[in-house]
Structures are given as structure tokens and as C-alpha cells.
Amino acid sequence: MRLSVAVAVLAPALSAYASNILVLLAFSPSNVTANVGDTVTFQFQSKNHSVTQSSFASPCTPLAGGVDSGFQFVAANAANIPEFSLTISNASKPLFFFSKQDAVVNECQKGMVFSINADPNSAKSFAAFQAAAEASAAPAASSSASSGSNILVLLAFSPSNVTANAGDTVTFQFQSKNHSVTQSSFASPCTPLVGGVDSGFHDASKPLFFFSKQDAVVNECQKGMVFSINADPNSAESFAAFQAAAEESAASSSSAPTAGASSGSEILVLVGQNNQLTFSPSNITANAGDTVTFQFQSKNHSVTQSSFEAPCTPLAGGVDSGFQFIAANATALPEFSFTINNAAKPLFFFSKQDAVVNECQKGMVFSINADPNSAESFAAFQAAAEESAASSSSAPAAGASSGSEILVLVGQNNQLTFSPSNITANVGDTVTFQFQSKNHSVTQSSFASPCTPLLGGVDSGFQAVTPDATAFPEFSFTLNNASTPLFFFSKQDALVSECQKGMVFSINANPDSAKSFAAFQANAEASVAPSAKASKKLQRKHSRDFASAAKVARK
């Protein structure tokens, strides 16, 4: 289903998606209605805002598990305009958002809030939400807060078109950046009209058309930054037709400066597809004007720009999606996009997540326009990222050396076991789980909730192994912090709850502490129904037996 775009700065034609609502930061429009499958794209045009989900009850507080673009800083001379998108999966649920920036002013309390599908006739309307956000301001600040128009910057004229009478004065207030108000004609939307005016209109019978002639970073006219006075909405020369004409002129002239690079196509990159530490595809070529959209599909990754020289270090001034956490019950997959401005320059990226494993050093990197035949190919970049593991992860680990491989068998001899069931490991050690039977998982949990996936924890996903399998799948990670005990379980519960059957595992649990492996396993088993307890004990015995067997096998 197609939705009308109230204020569009990005030509909708760029999009491969069914329907896009473009929202300018300043949140313009301030509220939208969207259907299931619609994508809402936030384009960060200036300063340093965020799109952070909150709730009606707490407008200026991040919602646990909600989406969050992170801070998106846009330098005055920014080469890339970052975007953040989400796709609606439930249109009957209103969603609320704010900018969490509060370094200079508290933007939320200045009314910089946004809603999707808030019912204007309900108690939880957008207006009520914004009022609540503003009311949360300090009394002194709120009295003068007139909705914060001073901090809001649109790549747009607001309103985009007006009706004026003879003698009316139209005043343009320049609120940001470096725009112009330049009169053009309906026929040539992006060309200054010879003798065009800026103010003081005397003939109300004649429609007037304007654009911003800035094209240093983006061609603002072709992005729809146009304006009209007295354009008849019912005529062929309506504001809408004028804006469409301006945007259409993009194709022709934007290809000119980019040396043959054409298009403006959308390239989709999946981040963490099938729970893997991957960008899919891992490397692309793109033309100037192409939009690269990253869709986060699992876990808690980022798309963070780095450089060939320092693959796992954020590049100063580079783009960064921030961490995007995907809950198992996520109802929307967040997206992050930017448009390529210069196809001659290779761009390098990584996921900066390193809470459990250092994902960059695991090769979770991505490139755009890296020349496969040069020294700075994607393959060389990935190799450099992986090699930085040895040096940098062992260095900060204060004496913890090694980098040894520890093998854990999952479901050995068709049993519901990890073998061994608990290990100690050093920083830099890689723990490899080999799935030997059935359909288990290695899913991180916590001591307190043994059978519940930990938000942001590692998860192999289900790994099914047929009885006649000729290869066993493996899942690995490298330890970053040896002083934090880590707890895991198999989340399979189709026939029996394997966790409650004692199929759990730990790394670096102190056997002499209250959080020993034994206590963890007892916790897991205690969550089982009483009737199932008898068979459980037997299972535990097996678990120990196979643990011992595997330890021997490792030597």
C-alpha cells in the first residue's frame, strides 16, 4: 500500500520498498499513520539527534527493547546523510519516539517527539504525547519553549506552499545550514528565474515558484526543497506537480557530476542474517546516488565506519548506526541507510559489538567499492580485521595469554549434554561447539534465569543434525572477559525442555561460589514441573559421565 508523503526530501522513486514515509529530523511530519509493511525512514539532516522509541507514559525515556537510532551527528559539510528506518509489523499499536539529545537543550522536552499510528481522537494522541513531553521540562524552560523551532532543521520549506494576497509579505527565516530562496519557474524548477524576486509580492493572481539552489552536498532542489506561492492545487501547475518536476530532474543532472555513475538504486545488506556474524553480502560496489540500506536481523550489531588501516576502530566523523538490538520477539527490524556520494572512494565498515565476542575480529566487516584487485580489497580488509584479534585482544587482557581452542560437544551420543558441561577459559580462547545429534542450540542466558535467552547474548540458533550426517555444524566465539562467568542452555523445547532437563553449560563459573555450574544446573532443573523430576536425575548423571569422557577425548 502506498502512503502519501507529507514532506519529502528524498525522491520516493529511489526506494525499492512498497511504500516509504520520509520523516525529516525535526520530525517533520510530526506524526504519521502507517500500515503493516510500510517503511518509515528518518533522514538526519543536521546537528546530532536520535530517533529513540519511548512510551506514551514516559515520552522522554528510552523504552526497554525499543528501537534507537543512536546519536546521528551530521557535520555541516557532511558527505553522507544518515538514515534510519523501521518497518511496521503491527498497525494497531501506536509507537512513540523522541530525540534523546540533551547536551545543550533537552530536545524531547522541547517537543521533538514523533508518533506512528497514534489515534488523534484518543487520550493517547500525538498532541497529548507532545504535551506530556514538554510538561516534563523544568518549569523555567517550558514556559518559553515554543516547540523548539530554533533547534529544528528541515531540508524543506515549511510550509511548502502558501496562498498570499497582494500586499502580503512572505518572510523566509533561514534556520540552518546554507540554503537559498531562489525564484524559478514552473517549467524549470531548479534554474534561477532571470529577474526573480525574494519578497514583496504584488500580484496575487500569478503563482510563484522557488527552490534552494544549494547543491554542494546534495542537490536540494532535486531533493524536493521547493516552495510555491499561490499555486492552484487543482491546476496542472500545482505545488505537487512542481515538486514532482523538481525531483524528476534529479535523474538527469545528478548523474552528471558523478562521472558516469548512474542509478540511485537501493542496495539491501542484511546484518546478522540467520543469527550469523555476517553482513550479507559482505562487499558491494555502488554508484554515487545509490542508497545502501542495512537491515538488522538478529542480536545486537552495529554498522560502524572504519578505515582500511584500522578495521576495528570507528573512523572519526564516519557513519555509525549505533547498536541495534533485535529481541527474539521483535516486531520491527530496524534499518540504517546512507547514500553514496563518491563511488571512487572505498568505504569500510565493521560491527563494533564486543560484549561477548569481538565481532570485528571474527570477520564481521563490510566494504563498499573496495577494488578486489588492489592491496585494499575486501578480502585483505577482512584478513586485517581478523588479525587484529591476536594482538589487541591479548594485550588488554592483563596476562591472560593463550588463544587456545576449546571444543565442546553438543548432544554427544544422542544425549542432552554439553561435553564438558563447564569449562574455564582465558581471554582470547575460542570456544567451539560441535553439534553432534538432534536439534540443539547454544544460547546464552544468565545465572538468575537459566532457561531464558539473555538480551543481547550469543545464540547459535537451532542446529539440526540428522542421524546420517556426514558433517557436524560448529558454532564458536572468542572470550573477551575471563572475569565474567557466562551461562548457556539449549533452547530446544519441542518435545522436552532440554534446559530443564539439565542441558546447560558454563564458562568460568567459580565452583566455590554461589554461582557455580552445579548451582546453575540445579536452577535450570528446578524450573521443571515436579512430575518430570525423576527422569531428570538420570539425565544429570549421564551429563557428568559424558563430560568426563569428553575431557579425556580433548587431551
Ligand X SMILES: *[C@@H]1O[C@H](CO)[C@@H](O)[C@H](O)[C@H]1NC(C)=O
Residues near ligand X (CB under 6 A) are: 6, 29-32, 48, 65, 71, 73, 90, 92-93, 101, 103, 126-127, 159-162, 178, 214, 216, 239-240, 281-284, 300, 323, 325, 327, 329, 331, 353, 355, 372, 378-379, 421-422, 424, 439, 455-456, 462, 464, 481, 483-484, 492, 494, 511, 517-518
Closer by beta carbon to ligand X, 185 or else 424: 424
| 3-class DSSP state of 304 | strand
What is the number of the residue whose Cβ is closest to ligand X? 456
Closer by beta carbon to ligand X, 251 or else 455: 455
CB of residue 367 to ligand X, shortest distance in Å: 8
Instruction: Tell me the helices (H) and strands (E) count for the chain, helix number first.
Output: 6, 33
Closer by beta carbon to ligand X, 337 or else 422: 422
- Answer yes or no: are the C-beta atoms of 35 and 50 closer than 8 Å: no
* DSSP-assigned beta bridge partners for residue 48: 73
CB of residue 411 to ligand X, shortest distance in Å: 12
Q: Which residues contact 289 (CB under 8 A, 6 or more apart)?
A: 254, 255, 258, 261, 262, 263, 264, 339, 340
Closer by beta carbon to ligand X, 18 or else 372: 372
Alpha carbon distances (Å) from 258 to 90, 339, 462: 40, 13, 46
CB of residue 195 to ligand X, shortest distance in Å: 21
CB of residue 228 to ligand X, shortest distance in Å: 8
Backbone angles phi, psi at 74, to 5 degrees: -120, 110
The CA-CA-CA angle for residues 94, 95, 99, to 5°, reads 150
Render 129-158 in DSSP notation, one character per residue.
HHHHHHHTS-HHHHHH-SS-GGG---SS-S
Q: Which residues contact 367 (CB under 8 A, 6 or more apart)?
A: 282, 283, 284, 346, 347, 348, 349, 378, 381
CB of residue 533 to ligand X, shortest distance in Å: 17
Q: Which residues contact 221 (CB under 8 A, 6 or more apart)?
A: 189, 190, 211, 212, 213, 215, 246, 249
Q: Which three cell numbers stand for residue 249?
A: 530532474
* DSSP-assigned beta bridge partners for residue 93: none
Backbone angles phi, psi at 113, to 5 degrees: -130, 170
CA 69, CA 319: separation in Å to the nearest integer? 12
CB of residue 197 to ligand X, shortest distance in Å: 20
Closer by beta carbon to ligand X, 114 or else 137: 114
CB of residue 445 to ligand X, shortest distance in Å: 13
CB atoms < 10 A from the CB of 199, how many? Answer: 10
CB of residue 200 to ligand X, shortest distance in Å: 20
CB of residue 202 to ligand X, shortest distance in Å: 21
CA 191 to chain centre: 38
Closer by beta carbon to ligand X, 422 or else 434: 422
CA 87, CA 35: separation in Å to the nearest integer? 9
Alpha carbon distances (Å) from 503 to 379, 410, 416, 553: 39, 9, 6, 20
CB of residue 247 to ligand X, shortest distance in Å: 12
DSSP state at residue 68: B
Closer by beta carbon to ligand X, 282 or else 392: 282
Closer by beta carbon to ligand X, 350 or else 517: 517
Q: Which residues contact 526 (CB under 8 A, 6 or more apart)?
A: none
Closer by beta carbon to ligand X, 187 or else 469: 469
Closer by beta carbon to ligand X, 242 or else 288: 242
- Answer yes or no: are the C-beta atoms of 107 and 49 closer than 8 Å: yes
Closer by beta carbon to ligand X, 310 or else 522: 522
- Answer yes or no: are the C-beta atoms of 503 and 490 closer than 8 Å: yes
Closer by beta carbon to ligand X, 15 or else 46: 46
Q: Which residues contact 316 (CB under 8 A, 6 or more apart)?
A: none
CB atoms < 10 A from the CB of 164, how many? Answer: 13
CB of residue 357 to ligand X, shortest distance in Å: 11
Closer by beta carbon to ligand X, 252 or else 483: 483
CB of residue 193 to ligand X, shortest distance in Å: 18
CB of residue 130 to ligand X, shortest distance in Å: 6
